[in-house]
Amino acid sequence: MKIPLKRFSEEFYYYSSQLVVFFIVIIFLTSGSIAMGITSSIIVVLFMLAQTLLLASQGHLPILRFLFSLITPVGYSILRAATSSLDFTETTNILLWGAAVYIGFFQAIAFSRKSGFLKRVAETALSLGSGVIFFSFYYYLDMRINLRQALEAGDMDREAYQEALKIGHFLSGLKDFAASPQHLFALLGIASFDIMLLAARMRAISLRSRLDRIIQRPPKPELPPSVEDETAAPQPKAVVTATPFAPTRLLASAISSDIVGFTSLSEVMGAQKSAEFLNKYYALWTHVASSEGGRIISITGDSVVLLFGLVNEQLNPERALYSAYAFMDELDGFREDLATLSLPANLQVSIGVHTGMVVSAMLGSPGEQQKTVFGDTIAVAARLDSLCRELHQEILVSHSTFRRLSLESQATLERMGEVLLRQSTRPVPVYTRKL
């Protein structure tokens, strides 16, 4: 199974291996010799990479997430048993096993629930518990370095050194270490990071709940004409002269978006999962657009067209741009949600944004006319959408939109170059989001 690099790095950073990296530092800095430290670290790194690869590919299944989280502790225990006597009461062993079991257990619970009380409890335990584990590793590194220096200086013998590394001495010294002023800033920094991480996870859970509500929203029932006539309140009869809906020109901002490589993805997923995948994709666009006053006007397969300014023309370029930004920002949590449903998590999109005049009119065959919006503005947004693939960008914004933005919003974009767009006689600048 092909694992995208971004998925691997996300797994490495957020879930499986960041604490193991700190553990490797402990091994390397406190080993008896440089050769032993390098050898031990390389072996642990190999186990860690195997664990991360398996979690990135199959970790969306709760039971496998828990079991794969134990790969590095098992590997370390095998290493210790092969090179020296293995003492399970040694702090190193207990810390690594304890961290792996704790994180793997609560991750399995979090992955088994899309939302709800248990999901929030598990995410809270992960965020706060990870901070406690990290600080424990930090204290253990400091303690082990000091003990190593005392051993080399002859202040203690090898037997006393091994005894001091056991879990009982670790717990007795942790409280005093945390209360020490020189470590207070480290403790506050870890706490601040964990609180921000917890807030981000809670926002992701709330987003998933909103998307599920959008998807599950029942369609409005369509009553046959006879039923409508019977249930409608009686109206006074009057002679009314029908007037056709007059076409209206509006300044609007259009967003055109596609899923990159959706055709090949749909062939792999099949009809049922493709429909489920697309519905979640549409729900995310509905969520971010409605919060900025936008509306989806067209859905064709994986292509979505949205318009801003149909009701209120003011600030529609700003609203369109920040809806696109919101969609891009929510994609990380959306990919994670897809992984838990065994759907492709390597979702890549392209987004084109353009501002111009559109026409709103009643179109269609007699008796079946509907209010429709059309114009070159939509076609230009679609052209920018397709150019994203050629220029290897996730979003492209036209100069027509750029010049109508506030200076603050313009500062979030950078010029990509010039392209030839629909009905333009010379190349015009296009912009993308700054990293």
Q: What is the CA radius of gyration of the chain?
A: 29
Contact indicator for 308, 319 with CB cutoff of 8 Å: yes
Model pTM score:
0.55
Most confident of 7-21, 327-341, 378-392: 378-392
Q: Is 401 exposed, middle or buried (0-12, 13-18, 19+ CB in 10 A)?
A: buried
CA nearest 200: which of 14, 19, 393, 25?
14
CATH number at 248-433: 3.30.70.1230
Half-sphere exposure of 42 (CA within 13 A, CB side): 6
User: For residue range 16-60, what is the model confidence (pLDDT) as tens digits?
Assistant: 555 666 666 666 555 556 666 677 778 877 888 888 888 888 877
Helices (H), 299-402: 316-340, 376-391, 399-402
Write out the residue limits of the CATH 3.30.70.1230 domain(s) in the chain. 248-433
User: For residue range 164-187, what is the model confidence (pLDDT) as tens digits?
Assistant: 878 777 777 777 777 777 777 777
User: For residue range 77-86, what is the model confidence (pLDDT) as tens digits?
Assistant: 887 777 766 5
Give per-residue burial for 297-320: e unless 16+ CB within 10 Å, then b.
beeeebebbbbbbbeeeebbbbbb
